[in-house]
Amino acid sequence: MTKSILSAAVAALAMGVAFAAPASAADVSACLITKTDTNPFFVKMKEGAAAKAKELGVTLKSYAGKIDGDSESQVAAIETCIADGAKGILITASDTKGIVPNLKKARDAGMLVIALDTPLEPIDAADMTFATDNLLAGKLIGQWAKETLGDKAKDAKVAFLDLTPSQPSVDILRDQGFMMGFGIDTKDANRIGDENDPRIVGHDVTNGNEEGGRTAMENLLQKDPTINVVHTINEPAAAGAYEALKAVGREKDVLVVSVDGGCPGVKNVAEGVIGATSQQYPLQMAALGIEAIKKFADSGEKPKPTAGKDFFDTGVTLVTDKPVSSIKSIATKEALGKCWG
Amino acid sequence: MSEPTAAAPHHDYEKVLRDSAVEVASFDTGDKSVVQKFRNFLHSSPSAVSLIVLVTSLIIFGILLGGKFFNAFSLTLILQQVAITGIVGAAQTLVIMTAGIDLSVGAIMVLSSVVMGQMVFRYGVPVEIAIPCGFAVGALCGFINGFLIARMKLPPFIVTLGMWQIVLASNFLYSANETIRSQEIGATAPLLQFLGNNFRLGGAVFTYGVVAMVLLVALLWYVLNQTAWGRHLYAVGDDPDAAELSGVNVKRMLVSVYVLAGVICALAGWASIGRNGSVSPTVGQFANIESITAVVIGGISLFGGRGSILGMVFGALIVGVFSFGLRMLGTDVQWTYLLIGVLIILAVAVDQWIRKAAS
């Protein structure tokens, strides 16, 4: 008697599995692996991916490193995704070179690998990269600063507040892009600091936060107190630079430009702390990534790069309340609706 | 009391005493070379080495850079730039003097500042209450450190390594890594930025944060040298067993040191709001390493029980002068790190050399 109950239970279980199996095979599942779970940029990215996944009926699993630079957690996440039989991986890699062999395993297993925001090295280690054109982001603010200054741009004194001493690619692209937009000869466009334009006061590193931005600005102001244009790697660094300028009473006559488009940054543009910023769109990157994985799962088709570029450009827009005629820009009111953080 | 020679021997075997040494045991005060005298001087005044290095580096950069470096504004700017490291360094000094180490100082500092900010902006608490809340969080973190180290007998390195991660993660989770902007703070709760206000004396600019650091160090210097608590702290660091046998409550002493360190970190958090204007969960990432660097260059022994808090200030200033001076010279920022690395190793080597003077 007990035996027959047991076998009935086993049979029911087996039937349950049999019914369940085809359903999960039809499911497309995708993985999102970000640098951290705490940076608002990645929080927005996760939101974008989750919303799109729900819309398309894709099962999304999200992973993140503990801190920026934590590559081990990302490797573990990739291995989990492969074991899980996901169709594709969206990743913002902490270690753009080191993670390549692990992602190759995923591609060998027939998965679509898409780099979000941060290109891998080499860039073709991913099937496609969905990212901001950081060179264009730099060019936009450089050009805006040039046009805003008008004739005075010829003898401007420019300070560059960069990211870290190791000159990561995003740092180089934004810094050199600004120079191109502003009309400074960049010499080697892959290197910061080889330029000899007398308008450059100097470069200093900020670690992309307020503390570093303030100290770097103080140091460069000591080098040349007549600085009147400041390029900053991101908006927290710009906020720190503004504090240093305020301390010496220069906040009104210095033009500060930045890149990011986070909500505190856009508010700072609205209040005149930052003159203009180039806004990027993490939500868009993730949504497009999920769409690409779904398409790949359905038809095997891989996404194609934007014409003339080796990645898919998710767009960048100049945000300022003092527009110049030659550059398309949006006002802070509109940008606040698209910002993150 | 009669000399042994004066007493008539009672027994035969005591006769040998007649020819033995009769003077009372004393320290060797015999002739010493100049080097040995210098070494003894350094041993008796542990902050002298760092002061000498500081003055020398000021002179060298003064010669290299001239008036651009050697003016009241630049020199007080360096003070402003090291004020936070100096305050955190004071907390680190207390801990290291007990032969411990605190890797969680920077994390406690950031969490305290975030709590101060969020109390006002998320919960609408009046700023006069929000700031003490931040201090309470600092004290609580310090208490957990102290409890685990003193009562559970866990090694300070491990406890604070763990707390560093725990506190930092709590900070990011609690704040959602969102920044509170300087302009909002200025409009609603300017008291949060109080330590960023400044006053001028001629060309010199002093922020209240700098004043807070100087007062804190002066107070701790007095406490360490003139109060029972301070002398007990040295005793615990030098030899906890001996201190225990002499009647010092070592456990309570250790807990009080870590709690005080937590409170001082909260003060640093308040000062960092003043300096950065905004409340940002991403600042202070290297405050633990910077404070340990200042302490080590300041000649405070990592083995505990020896050193002066003034040395830590000189150590912090040396790093500040090098960073600022080298940036003014326009060198690659890597040279700053390289030279500071050399200074750290030199400082410990000198410490070892001085210790030999004691033996």
DSSP string, A203-244: EEE-TTSHHHHHHHHHHHHHH-TT--EEEESSHHHHHHHHHH
In sequence order, what are the residues at sequence separation of 6 or more whose Cβ sits closer than 8 angstroms to the Cβ of residue B141? B104, B107, B108, B111, B163, B167, B262, B265
In the prediction, which pLDDT does A24 show?
43
For residue B112, the domain's CATH number is: 1.10.3470
Confidence of residue A21 (pLDDT cuts 50, 70, 90): very low
Mean pLDDT over residues A86-98, rounded? 90
Interface contact A223-B327, CB threshold 8 A: yes
Sign of CA pseudo-dihedral A70, A72, A77, A82: positive
In the prediction, which pLDDT does A23 show?
39
Report yes or no on B94 lying in a domain: yes
In the prediction, which pLDDT does A26 show?
52
Superfamily of domain A2-132+282-304: Response regulator (3.40.50.2300)
Of B141, B313, B300, the C-alpha closest to B216 is: B313
A215 touches chain B (CB under 8 A): yes
Each residue of A192-229: pLDDT tens digit?
889 999 999 999 999 888 999 999 999 999 989 999 99
Report yes or no on B54 lying in a domain: no
In the prediction, which pLDDT does B29 show?
60
Residue ranges of the domains in chain A? 2-132+282-304, 134-280+316-336
Interface contact A43-B182, CB threshold 8 A: no
CA distance A77 to B86: 40
Of A90, A89, A73, the C-alpha closest to A81 is: A89
In the prediction, which pLDDT does A15 show?
45
B200 touches chain A (CB under 8 A): no
Same CATH fold assignment for domains A2-132+282-304 and A134-280+316-336: yes
pLDDT surpassing 60 at residue A17: no
B chain contacts of residue A243, beta-carbon cutoff 8 Å: 182, 196, 275-277
Q: Let me know: does A236 contact A213? Beta carbons within 8 Å.
A: yes
In the prediction, which pLDDT does A317 show?
95
Sign of CA pseudo-dihedral B114, B116, B117, B123: positive
**Kind of pairing, strands A58-64 and A255-260?**
unpaired
Interface contact B177-A165, CB threshold 8 A: no
Report yes or no on B15 lying in a domain: no
Report yes or no on B105 lying in a domain: yes
In the prediction, which pLDDT does B240 show?
93
The question of ipTM being above 0.85 is answered as no
Phi, psi of B203 (to 5 degrees): -85, -15
CA B23 to chain centroid, in Å, comes to 44
Q: Which two tokens stand for residue A154?
A: 């010829």
Which residue on chain A is closest to B69 by alpha carbon? A222
Of A57, A34, A53, the C-alpha closest to A44 is: A34
To test the contact with chain A by mutation, choose from B182, B205, B326 the residue with the greatest count of A C-beta atoms within 10 A, namely B182
Report yes or no on B17 lying in a domain: no
pLDDT surpassing 80 at residue A10: no
- Please identify which residue in the block is written with the tokens 């009104």: A252
Interface contact A207-B285, CB threshold 8 A: yes
CA distance A125 to A134: 19
A chain contacts of residue B283, beta-carbon cutoff 8 Å: 209-211
Mean pLDDT over residues A153-166, rounded? 91
pLDDT surpassing 70 at residue A46: yes
In the prediction, which pLDDT does B226 show?
95
Q: Which of residues 244-273 of A touch B (CB under 8 A)?
A: 246-247, 264, 267-268, 271, 273
Report yes or no on B140 lying in a domain: yes
CA distance B315 to B318: 5
B chain contacts of residue A273, beta-carbon cutoff 8 Å: 182-183
Q: Which domain holds residue B311?
A: 66-354
What's the total number of domains in chain B?
A: 1
Q: What is each CA distance from A89 to A32, A92, A127, B136, B265, in whole angstroms?
A: 6, 10, 10, 44, 41
Least CB-CB distance to A205: which of B181, B277, B333? B333
In the prediction, which pLDDT does B89 show?
97
CA distance A90 to A290: 8
Q: Let me know: does B247 contact B143? Beta carbons within 8 Å.
A: no
Report the predicted TM-score, pTM, of the whole model to 2 decimal places.
Answer: 0.78
In the prediction, which pLDDT does A4 show?
55
Per DSSP, what are the bridge partners of residue A229?
Answer: A158, A255
Going residue by residue through chain B, which has 359 residues, state the pLDDT in tens, using 9 for 90 and above: 445 555 555 777 777 777 777 777 666 665 667 888 888 887 788 788 889 999 999 999 999 988 888 888 889 999 999 999 999 999 999 999 999 999 999 999 999 999 999 999 999 999 999 999 999 999 999 999 999 999 999 999 999 999 999 999 899 889 887 889 888 999 999 999 999 999 998 889 999 999 999 999 999 999 999 999 999 999 999 999 999 999 999 999 999 999 999 999 999 999 999 999 999 888 888 899 999 999 999 989 888 888 899 999 999 999 999 988 888 887 777 888 899 899 889 888 887 888 776 66
Least CB-CB distance to A210: which of B80, B178, B280? B280
Q: Say what percent of chain A tops pLDDT 70.
A: 92
In the prediction, which pLDDT does B23 show?
73
B329: distance to nearest CA of chain A, Å?
9
In the prediction, which pLDDT does B282 show?
84
Sheet holding A28-34, edge to edge: A58-64, A28-34, A88-91, A112-116, A128-131, A312-313
- Using only C-alpha atoms, what is the Rg of chain A? 24
Task: Name the CATH architecture for the domain at A134-280+316-336.
Answer: 3-Layer(aba) Sandwich (3.40)
